[in-house]
Amino acid sequence: MSDDGKAPKGFCVLIFLVMSDGKGPKEEGDPNELCPRIEDIEGNCKIDGPKGCEKYMTEVYNEKYFNCTCDNIFMIHKIKRYCKCNIRCKDQTVGHA
């Protein structure tokens, strides 16, 4: 504050920039943004491949998954199927990671 009780000219502008953070209004996420989901499923990718992963994920979680990839993980006594699928983030149910 100056001696006459008035704030310096640039003071109000500085407060506005600090309060608004300069980013503008907050927007909702992109409705088409994709979120990945990864699952280990018993089985073999050679049998059903990515379509099998997509079908499994869609049926088990009752949500539409797509763009799935499937990789076999060879273990000592079995083969595990590793599925990675995408879902639209807006469609993802809370509690599913």
pLDDT digits over 7-39, tens only? Answer: 565 544 444 444 445 555 545 667 678 899 888
Are 91 and 63 in contact by the 8 Å Cβ rule? The answer is yes
Which of the residue ranges 1-5, 22-26, 53-57 would you say has the lowest mean pLDDT?
A: 22-26
> What number of other Cβ atoms are within 10 A of residue 69's Cβ?
16
> What number of other Cβ atoms are within 10 A of residue 54's Cβ?
21
* Torsion sign, CA atoms 71, 41, 52, 57: negative
| Domain layout of the chain by residue ranges | 32-97
d(CA 74, CA 91): 33
